[in-house]
Amino acid sequence: MTPLQDALHPAGIQAAHIAGLWWFTVAICAVVFVAILAGLFYALVRAPRGDAATPPDMASMERPERATKRTVVTAVALSIVGLLALLGASIATDRALATLPLANAVHIEVIGHQWWWQVNYDDPVPARTFSTANEMHIPVGRPVVVSLKADDVIHSFWVPNLHGKKDAIPGRTNTIQLQADKPGTYRGQCAEFCGLQHAFMAFTVVAEDDARFQQWADAQRKPAPEPTDAKARRGHDLFMSGTCMMCHQIQGTTANARKGPDLTHVASRPTLAAGTLANDAQSLAAWIRDPQKLKPGVNMPAHHVPDDELDALVAYLETLK
Ligand code: CUA
């Protein structure tokens, strides 16, 4: 299922406030647009018709135009009222966005990288923290506090169905609070130009009931399973003896680097390469062989390994459910 990315179908209270402000702005602007066109049309119809021989109408120079003046003053006053109404609505929306009750909130740290999202789930018990990439699960009906950081350049976290945009800035932490009220899968997108692959810096937010969320989180906390068949075993050994483990982490193995996405449960994710590819064996093989072809400029280098080694690596990664 293609996840929704639509600010006009709010799935949470914050996005609903923003959508409300949008429709209010559209309504006021529509009324102004129609009024201006009506005035223009009226003027065109009423304007006196003349030809080269008609003398210029100098009447307005000689006597004051009371009716015209009244119309202009009324139009200016109505414009001021309209603008004040928009200002008031904007302030009220801002205030409403800031008042989400945060009791029992889920805390998630999101770090923007060129060009993927690192998602860290915080927990008072350090052993219960875990990391994933380009995928966020949240429980429906519970507030979520997202701490936003950036590793390299400015990125912007945006899930239109749940909230507005918030920048992730290197060297500082921003927070955004959101809550999903409807279960569903929503698409997030980086909303600040951050380099070559900015457009391919997407992520998925899955909002589900608390029981399913806990189930997912428990599965993510588990270390990677030991490969059982020979091919996956060979892939595991290639991973641990090659360059893969210099950038990636797989919990429960000797791969502990944090440069690239955590791959402990990579096979359970909906996409690869931050929403660029479907997560299947074919895409995975193509990605490992030549990421530059699929996402030019990305930090992962090409790996020109023999076919049988590539097969084994893919077989191993596919076991990381
Ligand atoms: Cu990250 Cu645009």
Q: Is residue 265 part of a domain?
A: yes
Question: Is the same domain home to 123 and 265?
Answer: no
pLDDT tier for residue 56 given thresholds of 50, 70 and 90: confident
Question: Is residue 228 a contact partner of residue 235, using CB atoms and an 8 Å limit?
Answer: no
Q: How many domains does the chain have?
A: 2
CATH code for the domain of 171: 2.60.40.420
Mean pLDDT in residue range 13-21: 94
The length of the chain, given as a count of residues: 321
Q: Which atom of ligand 1 lies nearest, measured to the CA of 115?
A: 1
pLDDT tier for residue 94 given thresholds of 50, 70 and 90: very high
CA 190 to centroid of ligand 1, rounded, Å: 4
Lowest mean pLDDT, pick from 18-27, 51-60, 120-129, 134-143? 51-60
| Structural domain range at position 302 | 230-318
CA 201 to chain centre: 9
Q: Is residue 3 part of a domain?
A: yes
Question: Is the same domain home to 205 and 127?
Answer: yes
Question: Is the same domain home to 159 and 305?
Answer: no
Spatial separation of the C-alpha atoms in residues 310 and 303, rounded to whole Å: 9
pLDDT(1) > 60: no
On average, the pLDDT of the chain sits at: 90
Question: Is the same domain home to 141 and 247?
Answer: no
Question: Is the same domain home to 187 and 241?
Answer: no
Q: Is residue 136 part of a domain?
A: yes
pLDDT at 49 (0 to 100): 80
Question: Is the same domain home to 160 and 34?
Answer: yes
pLDDT at 2 (0 to 100): 66
Q: Locate tokens 């893969």: which residue?
A: 244
Pocket flag, ligand 1, residue 182 (CB < 6 Å): no
pLDDT at 106 (0 to 100): 92
Pocket flag, ligand 1, residue 155 (CB < 6 Å): yes
CA 111 to centroid of ligand 1, rounded, Å: 11
Residue that terminates a domain, selected from 209, 243, 274: 209
Q: What is the pTM of this model?
A: 0.86
Q: Is residue 216 part of a domain?
A: no
- Torsion angle (degrees, nearest 10) of CA 30, 34, 39, 45: 160
> Where would I find the H helices in 119-274?
210-221, 230-241
Question: Is the same domain home to 237 and 169?
Answer: no
Question: Is residue 139 a contact partner of residue 208, using CB atoms and an 8 Å limit?
Answer: yes
Mean pLDDT in residue range 201-225: 92
Nearest Cα neighbor of 179 from 19, 20, 13, 16 is 13
Pocket flag, ligand 1, residue 165 (CB < 6 Å): no
